[in-house]
Structure 1
Amino acid sequence: MSQNIQTAVSEITEPILQELGMELVDIEYKKEGKNWFLRLFIDHPDGIGLDECSLVSERVSEALDREDPIEGFYYLEVSSPGAERPLKKEKDFVEAVGKNVYVKTYEQLDGQKEFEGNLTSYENETLTIAIRVKAQAKTITIPREKIATARLSVL
Protein backbone atom coordinates (compact mmCIF):
# COMPACT_ATOMS: atom_id res chain seq x y z
CA MET A 1 0.00 0.00 0.00
CA SER A 2 1.19 3.47 -0.75
CA GLN A 3 2.60 5.09 2.36
CA ASN A 4 0.71 8.27 1.41
CA ILE A 5 -2.66 6.47 1.49
CA GLN A 6 -1.83 4.77 4.78
CA THR A 7 -0.74 8.07 6.34
CA ALA A 8 -3.79 9.96 5.03
CA VAL A 9 -6.25 7.28 6.18
CA SER A 10 -4.54 7.06 9.56
CA GLU A 11 -4.72 10.84 10.05
CA ILE A 12 -8.44 10.81 9.22
CA THR A 13 -9.39 7.78 11.34
CA GLU A 14 -7.22 8.22 14.45
CA PRO A 15 -9.18 11.19 15.89
CA ILE A 16 -12.50 9.37 15.35
CA LEU A 17 -11.23 6.25 17.07
CA GLN A 18 -9.68 8.19 19.95
CA GLU A 19 -13.01 9.91 20.53
CA LEU A 20 -14.64 6.46 20.72
CA GLY A 21 -11.92 5.09 23.02
CA MET A 22 -10.67 2.72 20.32
CA GLU A 23 -7.32 2.02 18.72
CA LEU A 24 -6.32 1.69 15.07
CA VAL A 25 -4.31 -1.53 14.91
CA ASP A 26 -3.66 -1.81 11.18
CA ILE A 27 -4.67 -0.54 7.73
CA GLU A 28 -4.75 -2.62 4.54
CA TYR A 29 -5.45 -1.28 1.07
CA LYS A 30 -5.31 -3.99 -1.55
CA LYS A 31 -6.79 -5.15 -4.80
CA GLU A 32 -8.62 -8.47 -4.81
CA GLY A 33 -9.86 -9.49 -8.21
CA LYS A 34 -11.05 -6.30 -9.86
CA ASN A 35 -12.05 -4.57 -6.60
CA TRP A 36 -10.06 -2.48 -4.12
CA PHE A 37 -10.56 -2.93 -0.37
CA LEU A 38 -9.65 -0.56 2.44
CA ARG A 39 -9.58 -2.57 5.66
CA LEU A 40 -9.33 -1.00 9.08
CA PHE A 41 -8.53 -3.22 12.03
CA ILE A 42 -9.62 -1.67 15.31
CA ASP A 43 -9.49 -2.68 18.95
CA HIS A 44 -10.90 -1.67 22.33
CA PRO A 45 -9.96 -2.87 25.83
CA ASP A 46 -13.44 -4.46 26.13
CA GLY A 47 -13.23 -6.06 22.69
CA ILE A 48 -14.83 -5.25 19.35
CA GLY A 49 -18.23 -6.43 18.17
CA LEU A 50 -20.46 -5.81 15.19
CA ASP A 51 -21.98 -2.66 16.73
CA GLU A 52 -18.55 -1.06 17.20
CA CYS A 53 -17.49 -1.99 13.66
CA SER A 54 -20.70 -0.53 12.22
CA LEU A 55 -20.31 2.72 14.18
CA VAL A 56 -16.69 3.16 13.11
CA SER A 57 -17.53 2.26 9.51
CA GLU A 58 -20.24 4.94 9.39
CA ARG A 59 -18.11 7.66 10.99
CA VAL A 60 -14.96 6.87 9.02
CA SER A 61 -16.87 6.53 5.73
CA GLU A 62 -18.29 10.04 6.15
CA ALA A 63 -14.84 11.45 6.94
CA LEU A 64 -13.21 9.64 4.00
CA ASP A 65 -15.93 10.92 1.66
CA ARG A 66 -15.27 14.47 2.88
CA GLU A 67 -11.46 14.28 2.68
CA ASP A 68 -11.30 11.91 -0.35
CA PRO A 69 -7.70 10.63 0.12
CA ILE A 70 -8.13 7.65 -2.24
CA GLU A 71 -8.86 7.96 -5.94
CA GLY A 72 -11.45 5.64 -7.40
CA PHE A 73 -13.93 3.21 -5.93
CA TYR A 74 -13.12 0.92 -3.01
CA TYR A 75 -14.92 -1.07 -0.34
CA LEU A 76 -14.44 -0.07 3.29
CA GLU A 77 -14.30 -2.92 5.79
CA VAL A 78 -13.88 -2.48 9.54
CA SER A 79 -13.11 -5.40 11.86
CA SER A 80 -11.21 -6.50 14.93
CA PRO A 81 -7.64 -7.72 14.43
CA GLY A 82 -8.60 -11.18 15.71
CA ALA A 83 -6.64 -13.51 17.93
CA GLU A 84 -3.50 -13.22 15.81
CA ARG A 85 -3.28 -9.45 16.10
CA PRO A 86 -0.35 -7.86 14.24
CA LEU A 87 2.41 -6.29 16.31
CA LYS A 88 3.49 -3.01 14.76
CA LYS A 89 3.80 -0.30 17.39
CA GLU A 90 6.10 -0.13 20.41
CA LYS A 91 3.03 -0.54 22.64
CA ASP A 92 2.05 -3.75 20.81
CA PHE A 93 5.38 -5.40 21.57
CA VAL A 94 5.36 -4.29 25.21
CA GLU A 95 1.83 -5.68 25.70
CA ALA A 96 2.77 -8.96 23.99
CA VAL A 97 5.47 -9.86 26.54
CA GLY A 98 4.55 -13.22 28.06
CA LYS A 99 2.45 -14.22 25.03
CA ASN A 100 3.14 -16.46 22.05
CA VAL A 101 4.29 -14.61 18.95
CA TYR A 102 5.21 -15.34 15.34
CA VAL A 103 8.00 -13.24 13.84
CA LYS A 104 9.34 -13.22 10.29
CA THR A 105 12.63 -11.40 9.64
CA TYR A 106 14.03 -9.73 6.53
CA GLU A 107 17.20 -11.83 6.74
CA GLN A 108 18.20 -15.09 8.36
CA LEU A 109 19.14 -15.18 12.02
CA ASP A 110 20.65 -18.44 13.25
CA GLY A 111 19.79 -19.97 9.87
CA GLN A 112 16.07 -19.07 10.07
CA LYS A 113 13.74 -16.28 9.00
CA GLU A 114 10.63 -17.44 10.91
CA PHE A 115 10.32 -17.78 14.67
CA GLU A 116 7.41 -18.81 16.87
CA GLY A 117 7.52 -18.92 20.64
CA ASN A 118 7.00 -17.01 23.88
CA LEU A 119 8.03 -13.35 23.87
CA THR A 120 9.95 -13.22 27.13
CA SER A 121 11.06 -9.58 26.91
CA TYR A 122 11.08 -6.45 24.80
CA GLU A 123 13.77 -3.94 25.73
CA ASN A 124 15.75 -1.37 23.74
CA GLU A 125 13.95 -2.25 20.48
CA THR A 126 14.96 -5.91 20.86
CA LEU A 127 12.69 -8.94 21.24
CA THR A 128 13.75 -12.01 23.19
CA ILE A 129 11.78 -15.11 22.24
CA ALA A 130 11.91 -18.54 23.85
CA ILE A 131 11.58 -21.03 20.98
CA ARG A 132 11.89 -24.77 20.49
CA VAL A 133 14.19 -26.17 17.83
CA LYS A 134 13.34 -29.86 17.51
CA ALA A 135 13.19 -30.92 21.19
CA GLN A 136 15.60 -28.27 22.43
CA ALA A 137 14.61 -25.02 24.18
CA LYS A 138 16.46 -21.99 22.87
CA THR A 139 16.35 -18.21 23.23
CA ILE A 140 16.72 -15.86 20.27
CA THR A 141 17.06 -12.08 20.28
CA ILE A 142 15.75 -10.14 17.32
CA PRO A 143 16.37 -6.42 16.73
CA ARG A 144 13.11 -4.73 15.77
CA GLU A 145 14.57 -3.25 12.56
CA LYS A 146 15.11 -6.80 11.24
CA ILE A 147 11.42 -7.70 11.61
CA ALA A 148 9.40 -7.97 8.41
CA THR A 149 6.16 -9.00 10.18
CA ALA A 150 5.16 -9.88 13.71
CA ARG A 151 1.88 -11.01 15.24
CA LEU A 152 0.42 -12.80 18.22
CA SER A 153 0.31 -16.52 17.66
CA VAL A 154 -2.36 -18.97 18.70
CA LEU A 155 -0.68 -22.33 19.23
Structure 2
Amino acid sequence: MTDTAKLTALIAPEVEALGYAVVRVAMFGGTSDPTLQVMAERADTRQLGIDDCEKISRRLSDLLDEADPIEHEYRLEVSSPGIDRPLTRPQDYDDWKGHVARVRLLEPRDGRKQFEGRLGGVDDGNVLLTDVSKLGAVTLPLAAIDHAKLLLTDDLIAATAPLSTDGADRIQMEG
Protein backbone atom coordinates (compact mmCIF):
# COMPACT_ATOMS: atom_id res chain seq x y z
CA MET A 1 0.00 0.00 0.00
CA THR A 2 1.30 3.44 -0.94
CA ASP A 3 1.84 5.94 1.88
CA THR A 4 0.05 9.06 0.61
CA ALA A 5 1.30 11.14 3.57
CA LYS A 6 4.91 10.46 2.48
CA LEU A 7 4.01 11.17 -1.15
CA THR A 8 2.38 14.45 -0.14
CA ALA A 9 5.49 15.42 1.85
CA LEU A 10 7.60 14.74 -1.26
CA ILE A 11 5.25 16.40 -3.76
CA ALA A 12 3.98 19.48 -1.89
CA PRO A 13 7.27 21.44 -1.75
CA GLU A 14 7.77 21.01 -5.50
CA VAL A 15 4.23 22.13 -6.29
CA GLU A 16 4.51 25.08 -3.89
CA ALA A 17 7.84 26.11 -5.44
CA LEU A 18 5.93 26.56 -8.71
CA GLY A 19 3.38 28.85 -7.00
CA TYR A 20 0.58 26.33 -6.47
CA ALA A 21 -1.05 24.72 -3.43
CA VAL A 22 -1.67 20.98 -3.13
CA VAL A 23 -5.31 20.19 -2.43
CA ARG A 24 -5.04 16.40 -2.35
CA VAL A 25 -2.67 13.55 -3.18
CA ALA A 26 -4.35 10.16 -3.58
CA MET A 27 -3.84 6.76 -5.18
CA PHE A 28 -6.76 5.26 -7.09
CA GLY A 29 -7.42 2.21 -9.23
CA GLY A 30 -5.89 -0.53 -7.11
CA THR A 31 -3.64 -2.98 -8.95
CA SER A 32 -5.49 -2.94 -12.27
CA ASP A 33 -5.01 0.73 -13.16
CA PRO A 34 -3.10 2.57 -10.41
CA THR A 35 -3.25 6.34 -10.70
CA LEU A 36 -1.46 8.89 -8.57
CA GLN A 37 -3.78 11.88 -8.50
CA VAL A 38 -2.43 15.28 -7.52
CA MET A 39 -5.05 18.00 -7.17
CA ALA A 40 -3.65 21.50 -7.03
CA GLU A 41 -4.71 25.10 -7.41
CA ARG A 42 -3.07 28.45 -8.01
CA ALA A 43 -2.38 29.98 -4.62
CA ASP A 44 -3.57 33.40 -5.85
CA THR A 45 -6.72 32.48 -7.81
CA ARG A 46 -7.71 29.00 -6.53
CA GLN A 47 -8.01 27.94 -10.18
CA LEU A 48 -5.87 25.75 -12.38
CA GLY A 49 -5.64 25.70 -16.16
CA ILE A 50 -4.30 23.11 -18.56
CA ASP A 51 -0.96 24.92 -18.82
CA ASP A 52 -0.68 24.84 -15.03
CA CYS A 53 -1.41 21.09 -14.97
CA GLU A 54 1.24 20.53 -17.63
CA LYS A 55 3.85 22.53 -15.70
CA ILE A 56 3.17 20.64 -12.46
CA SER A 57 3.09 17.28 -14.25
CA ARG A 58 6.49 17.83 -15.84
CA ARG A 59 8.03 18.87 -12.53
CA LEU A 60 6.50 15.94 -10.66
CA SER A 61 7.38 13.39 -13.35
CA ASP A 62 11.05 14.26 -13.00
CA LEU A 63 10.86 14.22 -9.20
CA LEU A 64 8.98 10.91 -9.04
CA ASP A 65 11.28 9.26 -11.58
CA GLU A 66 14.29 10.24 -9.47
CA ALA A 67 12.84 9.47 -6.02
CA ASP A 68 10.92 6.36 -7.18
CA PRO A 69 8.58 6.31 -4.13
CA ILE A 70 6.01 3.93 -5.65
CA GLU A 71 7.00 0.29 -6.07
CA HIS A 72 4.81 -0.45 -9.08
CA GLU A 73 3.87 1.18 -12.37
CA TYR A 74 1.24 3.92 -12.15
CA ARG A 75 -0.20 6.81 -14.08
CA LEU A 76 0.30 10.42 -12.88
CA GLU A 77 -2.78 12.63 -13.07
CA VAL A 78 -2.54 16.33 -12.23
CA SER A 79 -5.85 18.15 -12.04
CA SER A 80 -7.84 21.01 -10.64
CA PRO A 81 -10.06 20.16 -7.68
CA GLY A 82 -13.03 21.17 -9.83
CA ILE A 83 -16.11 23.09 -8.87
CA ASP A 84 -17.47 20.45 -6.48
CA ARG A 85 -14.05 20.16 -4.92
CA PRO A 86 -13.08 17.94 -2.02
CA LEU A 87 -12.51 19.68 1.30
CA THR A 88 -9.22 18.23 2.49
CA ARG A 89 -7.53 20.93 4.57
CA PRO A 90 -8.89 22.79 7.62
CA GLN A 91 -8.62 26.08 5.70
CA ASP A 92 -11.00 24.73 3.02
CA TYR A 93 -13.87 24.78 5.51
CA ASP A 94 -13.22 28.47 6.20
CA ASP A 95 -12.44 29.40 2.59
CA TRP A 96 -15.76 27.94 1.37
CA LYS A 97 -17.83 29.15 4.34
CA GLY A 98 -21.44 29.75 3.33
CA HIS A 99 -21.45 27.10 0.61
CA VAL A 100 -23.25 23.76 0.81
CA ALA A 101 -21.16 20.65 1.50
CA ARG A 102 -21.62 16.93 2.07
CA VAL A 103 -19.56 15.51 4.91
CA ARG A 104 -19.15 11.80 5.56
CA LEU A 105 -17.82 10.58 8.88
CA LEU A 106 -15.62 7.60 9.59
CA GLU A 107 -18.11 6.34 12.20
CA PRO A 108 -21.83 7.12 12.65
CA ARG A 109 -22.79 9.96 14.94
CA ASP A 110 -26.36 10.22 16.18
CA GLY A 111 -27.19 7.36 13.80
CA ARG A 112 -25.80 9.15 10.73
CA LYS A 113 -22.57 8.99 8.79
CA GLN A 114 -23.46 11.65 6.23
CA PHE A 115 -24.42 15.27 6.75
CA GLU A 116 -25.32 17.96 4.22
CA GLY A 117 -25.44 21.59 5.19
CA ARG A 118 -24.00 25.05 4.79
CA LEU A 119 -20.39 25.42 5.90
CA GLY A 120 -19.96 27.62 8.94
CA GLY A 121 -16.18 27.34 9.04
CA VAL A 122 -13.79 25.51 11.32
CA ASP A 123 -13.07 26.31 14.94
CA ASP A 124 -10.79 24.52 17.37
CA GLY A 125 -10.61 21.38 15.22
CA ASN A 126 -14.37 21.22 14.58
CA VAL A 127 -16.39 21.93 11.44
CA LEU A 128 -19.67 23.78 11.83
CA LEU A 129 -22.49 22.87 9.44
CA THR A 130 -25.75 24.80 9.48
CA ASP A 131 -29.08 24.09 7.81
CA VAL A 132 -28.62 20.33 8.23
CA SER A 133 -31.92 18.53 7.56
CA LYS A 134 -33.79 17.69 10.79
CA LEU A 135 -30.84 18.84 12.91
CA GLY A 136 -30.21 22.52 12.18
CA ALA A 137 -26.59 23.18 13.15
CA VAL A 138 -24.07 20.45 13.93
CA THR A 139 -20.43 20.48 14.96
CA LEU A 140 -18.26 17.68 13.58
CA PRO A 141 -14.65 17.00 14.64
CA LEU A 142 -12.22 17.25 11.72
CA ALA A 143 -10.57 14.04 12.91
CA ALA A 144 -13.89 12.18 12.50
CA ILE A 145 -14.36 13.18 8.85
CA ASP A 146 -13.76 10.50 6.23
CA HIS A 147 -14.27 12.88 3.33
CA ALA A 148 -16.12 16.06 2.46
CA LYS A 149 -16.90 17.95 -0.73
CA LEU A 150 -18.75 21.00 -1.93
CA LEU A 151 -22.10 20.45 -3.60
CA LEU A 152 -22.94 22.11 -6.89
CA THR A 153 -25.23 25.11 -6.35
CA ASP A 154 -25.89 28.34 -8.22
CA ASP A 155 -23.98 30.22 -5.50
CA LEU A 156 -20.95 27.97 -5.96
CA ILE A 157 -21.05 28.37 -9.74
CA ALA A 158 -21.09 32.15 -9.34
CA ALA A 159 -18.25 32.05 -6.80
CA THR A 160 -16.01 29.91 -9.00
CA ALA A 161 -16.56 31.57 -12.37
CA PRO A 162 -13.34 31.57 -14.40
CA LEU A 163 -11.21 34.69 -14.22
CA SER A 164 -11.01 34.67 -18.00
CA THR A 165 -12.99 32.85 -20.65
CA ASP A 166 -10.74 33.96 -23.51
CA GLY A 167 -10.42 31.11 -25.97
CA ALA A 168 -13.17 29.02 -24.38
CA ASP A 169 -15.13 29.18 -27.64
CA ARG A 170 -12.22 27.97 -29.81
CA ILE A 171 -10.90 24.52 -30.42
CA GLN A 172 -7.17 24.49 -30.92
CA MET A 173 -6.00 21.95 -33.45
CA GLU A 174 -2.39 20.81 -33.37
CA GLY A 175 -0.93 19.16 -36.35
Please state which band the TM-score falls in when normalised by the shorter chain: 0.7 to 0.9
Deviation at 1:154, TM superposition (A): 1.5
**Cα separation, 1, equivalents of 2:121 and 2:29:** 37
Task: List runs of 5+ in structure 1 lacking aligned partners.
Answer: none
Q: d(CA) in 2 for partners of 1:124 and 1:21?
A: 29
Confirm or deny: 8 A CA contact 1:119 1:130 kept in the other structure: yes
The answer (yes or no) to whether the contact 2:2–2:70 under 8 Å persists in 1 is: no
The aligned counterpart of 2:48 is 48
Larger deviation, residues 71-80 vs 139-148: 139-148
Contact 2:100 2:118 in 1 (8 A): yes
Partner of 2:29, secondary structure, is strand
Larger deviation, residues 57-66 vs 116-125: 116-125
C-alpha separation between the residues in 1 aligned to 2:130 and 2:70?
A: 42
AA at the equivalent of 2:68 = D
Alignment CA distance shift 1:92-1:121 (3 Å): closer
Structure 2 letter corresponding to 1:128? L
TM-score by length of 1: 0.87
User: In 1, distance between residues paired with 2:70 and 2:141?
Assistant: 34
Matches of 2:6 and 2:140 in 1, distance apart?
Answer: 31
Per-residue Cα deviation, 1:110-152 (whole angstroms, up to 9, x for no partner): 332111110123211112211242xx67111112222111122
What is the match of residue 169 of structure 2?
none
Q: Residue 116 of structure 1 corresponds to which residue in structure 2?
A: 116
* Residues 16 and 33 of structure 1: CA distance in aligned 2, closer, same or farther (over 3 Å): closer
1:82 aligns with 2:82: yes
Q: Could you tell me how far apart the structure 2 residues matched to 1:62 and 1:11 are? A: 16
Aligned to 1:148, what secondary structure does the other structure show? strand
1:25 aligned partner: 23
Among all aligned residue pairs of Structure 1 and Structure 2, give the percentage whose two residues are the same amino acid.
30
- When residues 143 and 8 of structure 1 are mapped into structure 2, their CA distance, relative to the original with a 3 A threshold, is closer
Which residue is equivalent to 2:159? none
Q: 1:148 maps to what in 2?
A: 146
- Structure 1 residues 121 and 64: CA distance shift in structure 2, 3 A: closer
3-state DSSP of counterpart to 2:34:
strand
Residues paired across the two proteins, number: 151
Higher strand fraction: Structure 1 or Structure 2?
1
Amino acid at match of 1:10: T
| Mapped partners of 2:6, 2:121: distance in 1 | 33
* Of 9-18 and 20-29, the range deviating more from structure 2: 9-18
Residues of 1 paired with 2:54 and 2:121: CA distance? 36
> What's 2:172 paired with?
none
Report the AA paired with residue 151 of structure 1. Answer: K
Give me the TM-score of the superposition, normalised by structure 2.
0.77
8 Å contact from structure 1 (residues 28, 38) kept in 2 = yes
> Which structure has the higher relative contact order (CA within 8 Å, separation 6+)?
1
Q: Which is further off, 27-36 or 124-133?
A: 27-36
Stretches of structure 2 that go unaligned for 5 or more consecutive residues are 154-175
